[in-house]
């Protein structure tokens, strides 16, 4: 009865009796970009074994980029075994992608928009990049139909250490890769970044082609070994940059 009496005292009190209303949170926006470190022109790479590699074509396929909230990746099991096994028990959230996008690693290297997400505010502990064989949607997107079913296509010439004659080569791999940045997810007490309501964030994954041929001995290794090393080097050479909009 006392509450009813106070509400009737005057108009100034009426607003105090209203039920509280929730203020809707302004959505956060995350722009996901992919870039690569540019090579010299003409594109020539010398690997750690002394092979000189001259490149005519080099296209790799980006499949998806995901953001992982800390509560989805900070379990003890996740921290111990890493992303591969934990993916069976940990949900994948906030994913951009769906159709493959080619990237010409002999191009200028400027970052291009891969996708945009509007995840809720909170702590995020990991960014996951995936490369996979191209599907039929890639035709007409700049990669060409010759990429169909492949995750990377390379052609050029290599010269062995101390050699004079170059040897033409052509490589195409159907192997995909999945890279967690950082490799082991941080705990919720140390997130990779914190996304606030209404904030805009740019996440850029950069591929570094300079060391992509390290560990490859063209004269001694077969195609399967070369493919595996290329995919491993692709993952090892990735870098991550986070920039919050002012």
Q: Does 193 fall in a domain? A: yes
Give the pLDDT of residue 138. Answer: 64
Give the pLDDT of residue 5. Answer: 38
* Full residue range of the structural domain in which residue 208 is found: 26-244
Mean pLDDT, range 146-168, rounded to an integer: 90
Reduced to 3 states, what is the DSSP secondary structure of residue 160? Answer: coil
Summarize pLDDT for 219-229 with one digit per residue, the tens: 899 888 998 99
Q: Does 19 fall in a domain? A: no
Q: Is the dihedral of CA 206, 48, 43, 130 positive or negative?
A: negative
Reduced to 3 states, what is the DSSP secondary structure of residue 137? Answer: helix
Q: Does 49 fall in a domain? A: yes
Residue 233 · residue 208 · CB < 8 Å:
no
Give the chain's domain count: 1
Give the pLDDT of residue 27. Answer: 74
Give the pLDDT of residue 88. Answer: 37
Peptide bond into 182 cis (omega under 30): yes
Q: Does 13 fall in a domain? A: no
CA distances from 157 to 66, 151, 223 (A): 36, 20, 15
Q: Does 4 fall in a domain? A: no
- Tell me what the pLDDT averaged over the chain comes to: 80
Cβ-based neighbours of 152, under 8 Å, separated by 6 or more: 58, 59, 60, 61, 131, 171, 172, 173, 230, 231, 234
pLDDT at 185 over 80: no
Q: Closest by alpha carbon to 234, among 177, 181, 185, 183? A: 177
* pTM of model > 0.85: no
Q: Closest by alpha carbon to 130, among 110, 157, 101, 159? A: 101
Q: Does 20 fall in a domain? A: no
Q: Percentage of the chain with pLDDT > 90? A: 47
Reduced to 3 states, what is the DSSP secondary structure of residue 16? Answer: helix
State the Cα–Cα distance between residues 62 and 207, nearest whole angstrom: 11
Q: Does 167 fall in a domain? A: yes
Reduced to 3 states, what is the DSSP secondary structure of residue 138? Answer: helix
Give the pLDDT of residue 135. Answer: 80
State the Cα–Cα distance between residues 222 and 158, nearest whole angstrom: 15
pLDDT at 14 over 50: no
CA distances from 26 to 32, 120, 195, 231, 237 (A): 19, 9, 12, 40, 36
Residue 243 tokens, joined: 């920039």
H helix or E strand, kind and range, residue 108? none
Summarize pLDDT for 114-132 with one digit per residue, the tens: 999 999 999 999 999 999 8
> In 121-199, which residue ranges form alpha helices assigned H by DSSP?
none
Give the pLDDT of residue 64. Answer: 93
H helix or E strand, kind and range, residue 127? strand 122-131
State the Cα–Cα distance between residues 89 and 246, nearest whole angstrom: 37
Give the pLDDT of residue 233. Answer: 92
pLDDT band at 186; cut points 50, 70, 90: low
pLDDT at 244 over 70: yes
Residue 20 tokens, joined: 């509280």
State the Cα–Cα distance between residues 233 and 212, nearest whole angstrom: 5
Q: Does 191 fall in a domain? A: yes
208, with CB counted inside 10 A (0-12, 13-18, 19+), is: middle
């Amino acid at each position: 009865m006392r509450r009813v009496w106070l509400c009737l005292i005057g108009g100034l009190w009426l607003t105090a009796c209203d039920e509280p209303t929730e203020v809707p949170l302004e959505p956060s926006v995350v722009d996901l970009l992919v870039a690569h470190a540019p090579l010299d022109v003409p594109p020539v790479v010398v690997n750690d074994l002394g092979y000189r590699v001259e490149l005519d074509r080099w296209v790799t396929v980006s499949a998806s980029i995901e953001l992982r909230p800390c509560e989805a990746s900070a379990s003890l099991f996740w921290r111990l075994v890493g992303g591969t096994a934990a993916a069976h028990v940990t949900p994948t959230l906030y994913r951009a992608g769906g159709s493959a996008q080619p990237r010409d690693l002999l191009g200028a290297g400027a970052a291009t928009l891969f996708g945009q997400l509007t995840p809720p505010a909170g702590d995020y502990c990991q960014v996951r990049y995936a490369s996979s064989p191209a599907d039929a949607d890639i035709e007409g997107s700049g990669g060409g139909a010759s990429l169909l079913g492949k995750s990377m296509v390379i052609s050029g010439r290599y010269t062995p250490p101390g050699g004079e004659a170059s040897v033409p080569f052509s490589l195409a791999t159907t192997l995909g890769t999945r890279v967690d940045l950082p490799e082991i997810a941080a705990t919720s007490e140390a997130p990779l970044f914190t996304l606030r309501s209404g904030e805009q964030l740019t996440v850029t994954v950069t591929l570094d082609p300079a060391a992509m041929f390290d560990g490859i001995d063209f004269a001694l290794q077969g195609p399967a070994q070369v493919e595996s090393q290329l995919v491993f080097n692709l993952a090892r050479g990735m870098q991550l940059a986070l920039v919050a909009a002012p």
